[in-house]
Amino acid sequence: MLRFLLNRGGQALIAAFGVVTLVFFIQRLSGDPTALLLPETATQADIDAMRVTLGLDRPLIVQYWAFLSDLLRFDLGRSFVQNADVWDIVSSRIPKTLQLAFGALVVALLIGLPMGLIMAITRGKHVSKFIMWIVLACQSMPTFWSGIMMILVFGVWLRWLPSSGTGTFAHLIMPSIALGLLSLATYARITRAAVLDELGKDYVRSARARGVRTGRLVRHHLLRNSMIPIISITALELSQLLAGAVIVETVFAWPGLGLLTVQSIAARDFVVVQTIVLMGAFVTIFANLAADILYSVVDPRVRLAGQS
């Protein structure tokens, strides 16, 4: 087990280092932010002075080394635009994004898993075909379009829910559904495929021959044995939720990391964008590491395969 953990942990650290390097250099290729920070009447001397103040006059490799050194000390720097500590800016938005991501995950799991299970058990029947139509519709709708449609129907026409902002549970409902619809469809399809695979195995046929009811079979065997692909997709869906939050938070004016990302990109605030992208990458990398560990708990064969 220790060898398995060290192997997966080493891979995660290598991936994290690669992400850090890519983020730094790609951000620097997007343009010089000094032109946006100074008025149009600024002279070349003013621009040069600003570049010195921000440390952008140094060679790129020197900036990279300083960036790595600061990162190892958990010093994320200061915002170019807001002239404030980056961690203070980002940390104030994290709770809202976590709240939205958790709401979307709840929507996806509580609706997607039962839908997939029902589709597998009722395969070939009208119920299964109807649910599959709903799943395909959820998967086909762009996030921004479903968000705008919900605002139009439930916020403008019916006036049941607030169209933007935050503060109450009602504000969370539409953004959570808009963000969770695509994950809902993914969970439903993966659950259906996993359960169908289990239904074709010998132990299921033997249990049915002994008269074991479907409900008992699902509770005691099918769900546990179908967990590995569901765990795997959960790790991937975390990154999808973070990426989708950029669109959803913009549509609903939700004050989280997604909206902050859009604002920082528009202002070329390198340091803030770097921090948000790195946080998203680290969450994805270590969520996949956690999924690998859970694999080994649910199915020891995965651990043995990783050690071979």
pLDDT digits (tens, 9 = 90+) for 124-169: 899 999 999 999 998 888 888 999 999 999 999 999 999 988 888 9
Give the tokens for residue 284. 């994805």
214 domain-assigned: yes
Q: Are 184 and 240 a contacting pair, CB within 8 Å?
A: no
Q: What confidence category does residue 299 fall into, taking pLDDT thresholds of 50, 70 and 90?
A: low
List for the chain the helix, strand, coil content (%; round to 5).
80, 0, 20
Structure letter (DSSP) for residue 164: S
Q: What's residue 7's pLDDT?
A: 77
Q: Are 64 and 25 a contacting pair, CB within 8 Å?
A: yes
279 domain-assigned: no
pLDDT at 307 over 70: no
Report the largest interatomic distance among the alpha carbons of the chain, rounded to a whole angstrom: 86
Q: What's residue 104's pLDDT?
A: 93
| Count of H-run helices and E-run strands, the chain | 16, 0
- 200 in the same domain as 149: yes
- 154 in the same domain as 50: no
- 73 in the same domain as 155: no
Across the range 246-262, mean pLDDT stands at: 91
Residues forming a β-bridge with 78 = 85
Distance CA 271, CA 89 (A): 11
Distance CA 124, CA 208 (A): 19
- Tokens 């009602």 appear where? 170
188 domain-assigned: yes
- 12 in the same domain as 102: no
One-letter amino acid for residue 247 of the chain? I
- 134 in the same domain as 10: no
- Count structural domains, the chain: 2
Q: Are 38 and 46 a contacting pair, CB within 8 Å?
A: yes
User: What pTM value is reported for the model?
Assistant: 0.79
Q: Are 302 and 295 a contacting pair, CB within 8 Å?
A: yes
Q: Are 180 and 104 a contacting pair, CB within 8 Å?
A: yes
pLDDT tens per residue, range 11-51: 778 888 888 888 888 877 766 777 767 777 788 888 888 88
Across the range 284-308, mean pLDDT stands at: 65
Across the range 117-126, mean pLDDT stands at: 88
Lowest mean pLDDT among 131-140, 175-184, 267-276: 267-276
270 domain-assigned: no
One-letter amino acid for residue 173 of the chain? I
CATH no. for residue 170? Answer: 1.10.3720.10
Report phi then psi at 6, rounded to 5: -65, -40
Q: What confidence category does residue 120 fall into, taking pLDDT thresholds of 50, 70 and 90?
A: confident
Q: What's residue 180's pLDDT?
A: 92
pLDDT at 8 over 80: no
Across the range 286-294, mean pLDDT stands at: 75
Q: What confidence category does residue 300 fall into, taking pLDDT thresholds of 50, 70 and 90?
A: low
Q: What's residue 214's pLDDT?
A: 66
Q: Percent of the chain scored above 90 by pLDDT?
A: 27
pLDDT at 301 over 60: no
Q: Are 73 and 151 a contacting pair, CB within 8 Å?
A: no
- 123 in the same domain as 27: no
Residue 305, SS3 per DSSP: helix
Lowest mean pLDDT among 7-11, 164-168, 183-187, 291-295: 291-295
* Number of C-beta neighbours around residue 84 at 10 A: 11
Distance CA 80, CA 37 (A): 8
CA-nearest of 247, 251, 243 to 280 is 243
124 domain-assigned: yes
Name the domain boundary from 63, 86, 109: 86
- 122 in the same domain as 246: yes
- 234 in the same domain as 115: yes
Give the tokens for residue 155. 């916020």
Distance CA 257, CA 179 (A): 14
Distance CA 80, CA 96 (A): 23
Domain of residue 103, residue span:
94-255
Across the range 290-294, mean pLDDT stands at: 73
- 81 in the same domain as 105: no
Q: What is the mean pLDDT of the chain?
A: 83
- 20 in the same domain as 107: no
Distance CA 266, CA 258 (A): 13
- 238 in the same domain as 136: yes
**In whole angstroms, what separates CA 262 from the centre of its chain?**
16
CA-nearest of 282, 128, 303, 138 to 228 is 303
265-239-258-170 Cα dihedral, nearest 10 degrees: 170
263 domain-assigned: no
273 domain-assigned: no
Q: What confidence category does residue 200 fall into, taking pLDDT thresholds of 50, 70 and 90?
A: confident
